[in-house]
């Protein structure tokens, strides 16, 4: 097919993962969070937001009245004819207003907590689901430790931005306006103007300085991701590290990342100290000027001592949220940086998508037909893997794919699962192109027993039940019996509650394979893929597992990917792949009679097994399918 025809293919693969939509600015990121503050169909969360807003306003009004009551109490106490009951009443009122100020502020945070946590939960879940929806290409290029760190920090960043931006920045602005109005009312416009000028300079200095400090936070994030990724990768590959005695090497790699993090962290802390000093200079200078003006008023213009205290109290009281505003801006800015990384994951294009109106494949039912029709595929444009292969697996039949490493065997199963889309041609199930059905229903209809079974670090029961969450205990135990592992499980001290360890490493290879077979039986798929399911096992275990696999494959359409030719001699058809092409096909006896590639592979394998017997090692430790001679 020509390039133009290829490009016109309506099923052509989407752009590669990793292409992102343009990054958004900080304000766009903040605005994107607003829907989570006012979620649809969540009446109680909306009511909480309204009540929290009311508490915020009441708390700030009470805060502004605190200095006024103190000012009146001082003036009454300073008067020669003061009556003790009046100041006492003002003092009680002063205490009550302070309690109201603190109480309503705390009540505001308590009411808003549910809105804040729901928003961070929803965004984290959306990110998690989006990562699962991205193609295998994306996950092979990314490192799990870095991804989990990005989600964790992004979630905390959302919590900080929602809490601090909504109920700290806005209340501070309200308090500034009320304070300036009160100073204008009790004194003159100059007090209000000086307050505005000081606050404006303070905010400008804080925002500018904090923005400059942001680069240190970004470096900290990058180096932290790098350190966590290296740590997780090293710990997951604990055995490999021990095999090669590379503990010191791993420690040195980890420490190199920590050293870069340390350097950026120190710069961040030192710049924070400089920011705090600058803020204190600005506020203290403004406070000194206004105190001088107030003191002059007391000495020469008949201003009362109460008003002098009023000026000081207002400025000191305003300084608290302003000082916190610097911290708030720092946290919001850091939160936006953290969110920026998480939202960048959400902007990654989903390579494999369901079509609008995609059909649904029945997950259970009669065996399905599989058809590969002139399939071409390349992971990268410069490396063609499959070069126009065509074959079919009739319902209930067993077809095997054999060939040397790199011939494209496992790629066929990935295309059937639709981890990738074909470059050209089509893959069909029951006559329907897999790109025309939903991914969920497609994968629900396919079961796989892989070569390297990776289990969750949970119980045996959980790992078997993973084949069909919600299955009954009786169904899970029956699946284990069919997989010939039930007796082994009940012999363990904790039975089905036994933990399998990280990636299932507490179990042997054969035991892990049986667990994989059990959960596939429980899934009860219409199509079964055996992807070199016994190639890493010893001969005795392979024979035992083989019996379980044959029971699983009974009455199912089965595609076997094998290195050991002895495991596929009973296949209805064997396809021999080499360099991405089917070079031979037929039954075991017919292929041997051809005396071609398959026959050469069979002869080489028999020779290897004979050599293994002489050497006293398992054939699995020798190369099973060598490259056939041209």
In SS3 terms, 426-491 reads as EEEECCEEHHHECHHHHHHCEEEECCCCCECCCEHHHHHHCCCCCCCHHHHHHHHHHCCCHHHHHH
pLDDT in tens, 216-225: 877 887 888 7
Q: Is the pLDDT assigned to residue 17 strictly greater than 70?
A: no
Query: Confidence band (pLDDT; 50, 70, 90) for 287?
Result: confident
With the C-alpha atoms ordered 353, 356, 359, 364, is the resulting torsion angle positive or negative?
A: positive
pLDDT tens digit sequence for 454-488: 788 889 999 999 888 888 999 999 989 888 889 89
* Cβ atoms 368, 542 nearer than 8 A: no
Q: CA nearest 411: which of 566, 529, 528, 514?
A: 529
Report the pLDDT value the prediction gives residue 163, as an integer from 0 to 100: 75
- Of 27-31, 68-72, 528-532, least confident by mean pLDDT is 27-31
Query: What is residue 537's predicted lDDT score, i.e. its pLDDT?
Result: 58
Cα–Cα distance for residue pair 19/346, rounded to 1 Å: 11
Beta-bridged to residue 398, according to DSSP, are 558
pLDDT over 90 (residue 103) = yes
Work out the pLDDT band at 618, boundaries 50, 70, 90. Answer: low
Task: Please choose, from the candidates 121, 136, 337, 332, the residue with its C-alpha nearest in 3D space to the C-alpha of residue 224.
Answer: 337
3-state helix, strand, coil in the chain (%, to 5): 65, 10, 25
At 425 the pLDDT is 93
The size of the chain, in residues, is: 630
| Confidence tier at 2 by pLDDT (50, 70, 90) | very low
Q: Note the pLDDT of residue 500.
A: 86
205 CB burial (10 A radius; 0-12, 13-18, 19+): middle
Instruction: Give the pLDDT confidence of 325-363 residue by residue, as tens digits.
Output: 667 777 777 788 777 777 777 777 777 888 898 999 888
The answer to whether 449 touches 483, Cβ cutoff 8 Å, is no
Instruction: Report the percent of the chain where pLDDT is more than 70.
Output: 85
Quick one: which of 180, 221, 443, 492 has its CA closest to 317?
180
- Is residue 19's pLDDT more than 70? no
CB 605 within 8 A of CB 625: yes
Closest CA to 97 of 137, 61, 43: 61
- Asked if pLDDT for residue 266 goes beyond 60, the answer is yes
Assess whether pLDDT exceeds 50 at residue 55.
Answer: yes
pLDDT for res 311: 81
Which helix (H) or strand (E) covers residue 96, if one does?
helix 85-133
Tell me if 282 sits within 8 A of 202, measured CB to CB. yes
Backbone φ, ψ for residue 393 (5° rounding):
-120, 110
Q: Whole-model pTM?
A: 0.63
- The C-alpha atoms of residue 90 and residue 580 are separated, in whole angstroms, by 90
Average pLDDT estimate for 539-564: 75
Backbone angles phi, psi at 134, to 5 degrees: -75, 155
**According to the model, what pLDDT value does residue 10 have?**
36
Minimum mean pLDDT among 52-56, 230-234, 586-590: which range?
230-234
Residue ranges and CATH numbers for the domains of the chain are: 1-16+355-445+526-630 (3.40.50.300), 26-346 (1.20.1560.10), 454-524 (3.40.50.300)
**Coil, strand or helix at 280:** helix
The pLDDT assigned to 540 comes to 63
The pLDDT, as a whole number, for residue 538 is: 60
- Which pLDDT band holds residue 544 (cuts at 50, 70, 90)? low
What was the pLDDT predicted at 582? 92
pLDDT at 6: 36
Q: How far apart are CA 115 and CA 42, in angstroms?
A: 10
> How high is the pLDDT of residue 275?
85
Q: What is the pLDDT of residue 22?
A: 42
Query: For residues 480 and 486, what is the distance between their CA atoms, to the nearest angstrom?
Result: 5
> How many angstroms separate the CA atoms of 498 and 519, rounded?
16
Is the pLDDT at 125 greater than 60? The verdict is yes
Q: How far apart are CA 346 and CA 325, in angstroms?
A: 30
How many Å from the N-terminal Cα to the C-terminal Cα in the chain? 28
Q: In which order are the strands placed within the sheet that holds 432-433? A: 383-393, 370-380, 424-429, 432-433
411-462 pLDDT, tens digit each: 898 899 898 899 999 999 999 999 999 988 998 899 888 877 778 888 999 9
pLDDT digits (tens, 9 = 90+) for 129-174: 877 777 677 766 666 556 777 777 888 888 788 777 777 777 878 8
**Which residues lie across from 530 on neighbouring strands?**
449, 560
> Which of 388-392, 403-407, 458-462, 503-507 shows the lowest per-residue confidence on average (mean pLDDT)?
503-507
> What was the pLDDT predicted at 534?
65
| pLDDT score of 8 | 34
**Which of 16-20, 32-36, 322-326, 454-458 is predicted least confidently?**
16-20
Query: What is the average pLDDT score of the chain?
Result: 80
Residue 40, pLDDT score: 81
Of the two residues 609 and 238, the one the predictor is more confident about is: 238
């Amino acid at each position: 097919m020509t390039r133009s025809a290829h490009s016109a293919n309506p099923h052509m693969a989407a752009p590669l993962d990793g292409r992102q939509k343009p990054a958004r600015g900080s304000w766009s990121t903040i605005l994107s969070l607003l829907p989570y503050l006012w979620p649809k169909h969540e009446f109680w969360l909306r009511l909480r937001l309204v009540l929290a807003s009311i508490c915020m306003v009441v708390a700030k009004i009470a805060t502004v009245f605190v200095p006024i009551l103190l000012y009146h109490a001082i003036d009454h106490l300073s008067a020669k004819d003061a009556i003790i009951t009046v100041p006492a009443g003002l003092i009680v009122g002063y205490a009550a207003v302070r309690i109201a100020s603190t109480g309503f502020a705390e009540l505001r945070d308590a009411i808003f907590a549910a809105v804040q946590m729901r928003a961070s939960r929803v965004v984290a879940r959306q990110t998690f689901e989006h990562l699962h929806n991205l193609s295998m290409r994306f996950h092979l290029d990314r490192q799990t430790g870095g991804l989990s760190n990005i989600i964790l920090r992004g979630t905390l960043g959302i919590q900080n931005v929602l809490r601090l931006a909504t109920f700290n920045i806005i209340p501070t602005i309200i308090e500034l306006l009320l304070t300036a109005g009160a100073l204008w009312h009790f004194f003159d416009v100059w007090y209000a103007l000086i307050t505005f000028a000081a606050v404006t300079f303070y905010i400008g200095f804080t925002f500018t300085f904090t923005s400059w400090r942001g680069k240190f936070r970004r470096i900290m994030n990058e180096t932290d991701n790098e350190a966590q990724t290296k740590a997780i990768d090293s710990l997951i590959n604990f055995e490999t590290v021990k095999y090669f005695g590379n503990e010191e090497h791993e420690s040195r790699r980890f420490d190199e990342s920590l050293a870069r993090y340390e350097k950026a962290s120190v710069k961040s802390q030192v710049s924070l100290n400089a920011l705090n000093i600058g803020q204190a200079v600005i506020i203290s200078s403004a406070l000194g000027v206004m105190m001088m003006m107030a003191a002059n008023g007391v000495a020469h213009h008949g201003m009362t001592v109460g008003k002098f205290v009023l000026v000081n109290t207002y400025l000191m009281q305003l300084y608290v949220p302003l000082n916190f505003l610097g911290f708030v801006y720092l946290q919001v800015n850091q939160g936006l940086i953290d969110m920026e990384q998480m939202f960048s994951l959400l902007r990654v294009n989903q390579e494999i998508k369901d079509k609008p109106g995609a059909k649904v494949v029945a997950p259970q039912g009669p065996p399905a037909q599989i058809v590969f029709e002139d399939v071409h595929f390349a992971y990268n444009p410069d490396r063609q893997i499959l070069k126009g292969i065509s074959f079919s697996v009739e319902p209930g039949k067993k077809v095997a794919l054999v060939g040397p490493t790199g011939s494209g065997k496992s790629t066929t199963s990935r295309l059937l699962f639709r981890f990738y889309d074909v470059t050209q041609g089509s893959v069909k199930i029951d006559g329907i192109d897999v790109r025309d059905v939903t991914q969920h229903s497609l994968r629900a209809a396919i079961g796989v027993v892989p070569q390297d079974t990776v289990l969750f670090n949970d119980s045996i029961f959980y790992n078997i039940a993973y084949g069909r969450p919600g299955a009954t205990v009786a169904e899970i135990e029956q699946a284990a019996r069919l997989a010939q592992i039930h007796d082994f499980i009940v012999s363990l001290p904790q039975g089905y509650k036994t933990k399998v360890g990280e990636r299932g490493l507490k179990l042997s290879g054969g035991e892990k394979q049986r667990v994989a077979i059990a959960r596939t039986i429980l899934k009860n798929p219409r199509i079964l893929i055996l992807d070199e399911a016994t190639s890493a096992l010893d001969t005795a275990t392979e024979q035992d597992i083989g019996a379980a696999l044959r029971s699983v494959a009974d009455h199912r359409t089965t595609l076997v990917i094998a290195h050991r030719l002895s495991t596929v001699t009973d296949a209805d058809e064997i396809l021999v792949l080499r360099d991405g092409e089917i070079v031979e096909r037929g039954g075991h006896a017919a292929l041997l009679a051809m005396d071609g590639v398959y026959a050469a592979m069979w002869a080489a394998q028999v020779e290897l097994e004979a050599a293994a017997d002489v050497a006293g090692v398992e054939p699995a430790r020798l190369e099973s399918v060598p490259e056939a001679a041209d």
